[in-house]
A and B are shown apart, each in its own frame.
Chain A
Amino acid sequence: MSNPSKVTKAEEFEPRIVAFLCKWCSSAGSDLAGVSRIQYSANATPITIPCSGSVSPMFILSAFNKGADGVLISGCHPGDCHYMEGNYLARRKLYLVKELLQFIGLESERFRMSWVSAAEGAKFAEVVDEFVEDLRVLGPQNRLKAKR
């Protein structure tokens, strides 16, 4: 990730989100939001991945470790996976990751998952906006962030 913009105390806290987007749907959905000129928060850094099922828990932990305030994972709706069942496997795996992060005391709002298809540009914008607002309330994520 790029260097954090310097936040002075007077400035408002801007949450930084790492968004892992499925190549086949959510990534195209974010593109659609862009070409449709939908206004939404610019806080998410999108990373295109082949499938939500290919998300390793390492990606999420690493994002938090390197200073993300929130992690969003977005994939195809159940039944629409390009690889037949990737999103079902993702759902099970990420449910466990979410439970584990909550268990050690990370706020549950910081890790989010959504199903966004290539036709849902408006929904993508909505998901990001909502996430940013929730993170703004929570403040910076310092629990898993590396102190360097």
Chain B
Amino acid sequence: MVNVEEIRDYAANLLGKGEVKSVLGFRRGSASAFAEPCTITDVGEAASLVWDPTCLNNLTLYLVKDHKQQAAAKTPDNRPVGIVAKGCDSRAIGVLLQENYFKREDVVVIGVSCEGTGVVDPRKLSAKLKGRTASRVSFYGADGINVRVYGEETETVIPAQEVLADRCLECRAAIPTLNDIVFGEAVGAREFDEPFHAAKAAESLSADERWATWEHHFDRCLRCFACRAVCPMCYCPECVVDSTTFVVTLGTSAEEKANRIRWCERSANTSESAVYHLTRAIHLAGRCIDCGECERVCPVNIPLRLLNTKLEKEAFEMFEYQAGHDIEQASLLSSFRDEDPNSFIR
């Protein structure tokens, strides 16, 4: 079992010695039992850090934001940032390092092992509690989650398989491989669901059935871009859907406006949303580390993770490539092997 006190002490020690400028972690949320991300800059605040199955967020996003802020700052603070990282989060840091987004010495990875379970899916939990609200959620052991409901004395143990996030059920590496220190026991493979279970299930449907499903999903997309905003890998300063470089001035003629290349319109209709989501999926091929954040924040519940895991499955099975595993490795799309599949080419 991860001892939260140890994480707090470690974070306080880092801050006390001034080795890091801040520590990214989780604290108790004010709205519900779910933890919220926080940035700690003071030794005293370290006592508010928590670690339980409600720590959903991939904090790597805030490393990216910090990096952007420092790049724009007049007097940047070049000390590293400490970050509490689960297995998936550490892989996200791995991908960013692989892409030279920042350097290894810019980050202190305080790894926490999920110890064979993972994080709770809020939707699954609320369905399980039938409208009641959880006041506390904690680990029970490798195969159970302890839940206390508001206004009730006793705690209920729910089997982990019923409330854990889909990605945790399929997780192949629950230990932060990239780390400066790891808290908790190293429990690797889990046996809830086979890897890529959901993607394989979707593949087994017919083409018409698959399109019917995706048309329904793309049709509902609001184009709020929450999936893009929450993804630590979507750090491009310019996105195809934004086209910020096209500056409209008084001198811009109607023809110039009409003729500029628009790869993808911002309007929310099925085909444009399909282009947006497919582009994003391809952009994340070999980079998505399956933290499931895009799916979690989607207001209309589009199974975005499915698109990404489909490509991760192909990368794993066809090209033996796993995102964020080896920071020295060339990325998926910038490398090749002679024995790559050739049969589909005429």
Interface residues, chain A, with chain B CB atoms under 8 Å away: 57-58, 61-62, 65, 78, 85, 88-89, 91-93, 95-108, 112-115, 127, 130, 143-147
Contact = CB atoms under 8 A, between A and B. Distances in A.
B210 A103 contact: yes
Given A61-B279, A147-B270, A91 B214 contact: no
B278 A113 contact: no
Contacts of B319: 92
B275 interface: yes
B315 to A, nearest CB: 8
B346 interface: yes
A20 to B, nearest CB: 14
A96 B207 contact: no
Nearest to A104: B214
Given A99-B314, A144-B274, A105 B208 contact: yes
Contacts of A58: 240, 263-264, 279
A36 B344 CA distance: 28
B207 A88 contact: no
Interface of B: 202-203, 207-215, 240, 263-265, 269-272, 274-275, 278-279, 281-282, 285, 307, 310-311, 314-315, 318-319, 332-336, 338, 340-342, 344-346
A113 B272 contact: no
20 contacts: A58-B264, A61-B263, A61-B274, A65-B274, A88-B338, A89-B334, A92-B336, A95-B340, A96-B282, A96-B285, A100-B278, A100-B310, A102-B207, A103-B307, A104-B210, A114-B345, A127-B346, A143-B211, A145-B271, A146-B265
B340 A147 contact: no
A78 B341 CA distance: 12
Contact of A93 (B210, B213, B333, B345): B333
Given A89-B336, A98-B344, A113-B345, A146 B272 contact: yes
B207 A61 contact: no
A91 B271 CA distance: 26
B345 A92 contact: no
A92 B340 contact: yes
Contact of A144 (B271, B314, B336): B271
A143 B281 CA distance: 18
B309 to A, nearest CB: 10
Nearest to A97: B282
Nearest to A114: B346
B275 A61 contact: yes
B340 A91 contact: yes
Nearest to B341: A95
A144 B344 contact: no
A65 B278 CA distance: 12
B48 to A, nearest CB: 43
B274 A104 contact: yes
